[in-house]
């Protein structure tokens, strides 16, 4: 496929799938390029299986669906989930994927028309969109198995091939109302998939050291942005890093500007190497806070993150703040004048949240023996699936390890 050779897709080779995750799970260096190829391969397997079961799929549709699977994430940026919102307000990577799809389509003389329709959900066969984007799409199936494999987290392992073999278009012949379903015998494989995904969120994607790394990176970029916008002395050093990164930090780009030439070009030039290279330069910055944050990221000297039983009260937060302020002064990172401004770069209260399965929004449909469709949690023989519908929220606080912050009632 010529698409794989495009600069837009090759760029994904330089973006790690798990952002800072490889700094916590040493084997997890895999890239978004690997994942895009994996999603494409699973899409091929799924289409072949559905076709063998009796749902007609034309060669053109097959190709279009492969392209949609390959390109569904092409809009992801450097250190994606960590940075995207830092760089562009109200960003959704799907919107950037769509911008790039349209540009590729122009370059390929409209060959991606159907792929775009499938991506958008406007193609005449809605189940093809479900293969690209739903609670059981090829994207999720691939990243879950891939991330579990490379992190070595056994809880994330999923029998992907078997799951794909239980997919079925219903009714078989297709038609505008046909949708993607799972045959009854696949219900346990789906249950395992949902549980595995839940466990991967809490053990990998929202692992406390991953959150800690995210936090350092956010702080460094915010600090750099402040200098760039203020036009301070330090800005010169900052500009020795990546120009494309500086472009996004300096200008307040919003999601409605994605399709301008400048934004698109700089976005495509930006990958993990820009961020890492820039941070290495910033270690020499005249601002001790920026230099410290950059050094912390490069040398993996992250903050500490502690999960909390409940959201912390004002008194608690003020006590932590007092401790960190004192530490900033002792370390020579802040002066009395700057310490209040510097505080939020080092002390941060936030919360993680994750819902494993939405029973209401595009739920997974199980096809029972009688040929009826039923929602997954209704069909399951246990109350466990229904229990996955709740959003689990975990407050946490991040702070420098050596600051002497004392956490009561921690439960993480």
Which residues lie closer than 8 Å to 56 by C-beta, 6 or more apart? Answer: 173, 174
Find the shortest distance in angstroms from Cβ 158 to a second copy. Answer: 6
- Are 32 and 12 in contact, with CB atoms under 8 Å apart? yes
Binding range to a second copy, per CB under 8 A, among 71-79, 99-107, 210-218, 275-283: 275-283
- Per the listing, tokens 């540009």 go with 103
Q: What are phi and psi of 158, to 5 degrees?
A: -135, 145
Q: Is 340 in the site for a second copy (CB under 8 A)?
A: no
- 329 or 355: whose CB is closer to a second copy? 355
Q: Is 157 in the site for a second copy (CB under 8 A)?
A: yes
Find the shortest distance in angstroms from Cβ 28 to a second copy. Answer: 9
Query: Tokens for 116?
Result: 């775009």
Q: Is 252 in the site for a second copy (CB under 8 A)?
A: no
- Other beta carbons within 10 angstroms of residue 14's beta carbon come to 15
- 118 or 211: whose CB is closer to a second copy? 211
- 337 or 409: whose CB is closer to a second copy? 409
Query: What is the C-alpha to C-alpha distance for residues 107 and 138, in angstroms, rounded to an integer?
Result: 26
- Other beta carbons within 10 angstroms of residue 27's beta carbon come to 10
Q: Which of 257, 209, 217, 267 is nearest to 76 (CA)?
A: 267
Query: How many CA atoms within 13 Å lie on the side-chain side of 286?
Result: 9
Instruction: Give the residue, chosen from 57, 103, 277, 350, that forms a contact with a second copy under the rule CB under 8 A.
Output: 277
Q: Which of residues 12-41 bind a second copy (CB under 8 A)?
A: 13-14, 16, 22-23, 26-27, 29-31, 33-34, 37
Buried/exposed code over 59-94 (b: 16+ C-beta within 10 A; e: otherwise): eebebbbbbbbbbbbbbbbbbbbbbbebbbeebebe
Query: Tokens for 128?
Result: 């093809």
Query: What is the C-alpha to C-alpha distance for residues 226 and 390, in angstroms, rounded to an integer?
Result: 38
Instruction: Give the residue, chosen from 62, 92, 264, 280, that forms a contact with a second copy under the rule CB under 8 A.
Output: 280
Q: Is 311 in the site for a second copy (CB under 8 A)?
A: no
Determine whether 164 is exposed, middle or buried from the number of CB atoms within 10 Å of its CB (0-12, 13-18, 19+): buried
Continuous segment of H or E residues that includes residue 395? strand 391-399
Query: What is the C-alpha to C-alpha distance for residues 189 and 386, in angstroms, rounded to an integer?
Result: 16
Query: Tokens for 47?
Result: 């289409």
Q: Is 135 in the site for a second copy (CB under 8 A)?
A: no
- 356 or 365: whose CB is closer to a second copy? 356
- Per the listing, tokens 């301008």 go with 260
Q: Give the per-residue contact string, 186-205, with a second copy (x = CB under 8 A; - = no).
A: --xx-xx--xx-xx--xx--
Find the shortest distance in angstroms from Cβ 162 to a second copy. Answer: 7
Cα 285 from chain centre: 30
Q: Is 162 in the site for a second copy (CB under 8 A)?
A: yes
Find the shortest distance in angstroms from Cβ 382 to a second copy. Answer: 5
Contacts 24+ apart (CB under 8 A), 246-252: 246/278, 248/87, 248/88, 249/87, 249/221, 249/224, 249/225, 250/225, 252/89
Find the shortest distance in angstroms from Cβ 261 to a second copy. Answer: 16
Query: Tokens for 268?
Result: 């495509």
Instruction: Give the residue, chosen from 124, 256, 301, 330, that forms a contact with a second copy under the rule CB under 8 A.
Output: 301
- 16 or 168: whose CB is closer to a second copy? 16
- 64 or 308: whose CB is closer to a second copy? 308
Find the shortest distance in angstroms from Cβ 284 to a second copy. Answer: 10
- 94 or 183: whose CB is closer to a second copy? 183
Q: Is 395 in the site for a second copy (CB under 8 A)?
A: no
- 37 or 95: whose CB is closer to a second copy? 37
Contact residues toward a second copy (CB under 8 A) are: 5, 7, 10, 13-14, 16, 22-23, 26-27, 29-31, 33-34, 37, 153-155, 157-160, 162, 184, 188-189, 191-192, 195-196, 198-199, 202-203, 240, 242-243, 269, 272-274, 276-277, 280, 298-301, 356, 368-370, 381-388, 390, 392, 394, 409-412
């Amino acid at each position: 496929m010529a698409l794989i050779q495009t600069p837009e897709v090759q760029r994904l080779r330089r973006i790690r799938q798990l952002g800072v995750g490889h700094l916590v799970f040493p084997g997890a260096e895999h890239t978004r390029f690997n994942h895009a190829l994996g999603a494409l391969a699973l899409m091929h397997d799924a289409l072949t299986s559905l076709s063998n079961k009796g749902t007609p799929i034309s060669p053109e549709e097959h190709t279009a669906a492969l392209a949609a699977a390959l390109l569904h994430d092409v809009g992801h940026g450097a250190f994606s989930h960590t940075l995207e919102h830092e760089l562009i307000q109200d960003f959704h990577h799907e919107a950037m994927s769509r911008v790039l799809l349209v540009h590729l389509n122009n370059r390929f003389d409209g060959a991606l028309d159907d792929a775009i329709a499938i991506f958008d959900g406007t193609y005449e066969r809605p189940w093809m969109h479900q293969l690209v984007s739903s609670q059981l799409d090829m994207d999720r199936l691939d990243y879950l198995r891939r991330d579990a494999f490379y992190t070595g987290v056994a809880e994330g392992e999923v029998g992907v091939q078997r799951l794909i073999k239980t997919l079925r278009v219903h009714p078989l012949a297709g038609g505008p109302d046909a949708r993607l379903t799972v045959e009854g015998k696949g219900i346990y494989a789906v249950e395992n998939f949902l549980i595995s995904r839940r466990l991967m969120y809490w053990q990998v994607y929202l692992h406390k050291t991953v959150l800690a790394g995210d936090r350092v990176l956010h702080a460094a970029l915010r600090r750099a942005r402040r200098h760039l916008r203020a036009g301070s002395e330090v800005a010169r050093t900052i500009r020795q890093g990546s120009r494309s990164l500086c472009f996004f930090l300096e200008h307040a780009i919003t999601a409605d500007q994605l399709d301008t030439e400048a934004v698109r070009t700089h976005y495509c030039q930006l990958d993990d190497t820009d961020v890492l290279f820039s941070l290495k330069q910033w270690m020499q910055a005249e601002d001790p806070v920026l230099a410290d944050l950059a050094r912390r990221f490069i040398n993996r000297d992250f903050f500490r993150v502690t999960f909390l039983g409940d959201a912390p009260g004002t008194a608690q937060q003020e006590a932590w703040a007092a401790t960190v302020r004192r530490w900033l002064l002792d370390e020579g990172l802040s002066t009395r004048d700057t310490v209040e401004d510097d505080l939020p770069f080092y002390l941060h209260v936030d919360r993680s949240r994750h819902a494993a399965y939405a029973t209401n929004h595009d739920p997974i449909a199980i096809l029972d023996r009688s040929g009826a469709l039923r929602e997954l949690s209704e069909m399951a023989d246990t109350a466990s699936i229904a229990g996955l519908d709740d959003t689990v929220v975990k407050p946490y606080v991040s702070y420098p390890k050596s600051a002497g912050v004392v956490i009561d009632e921690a439960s993480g």
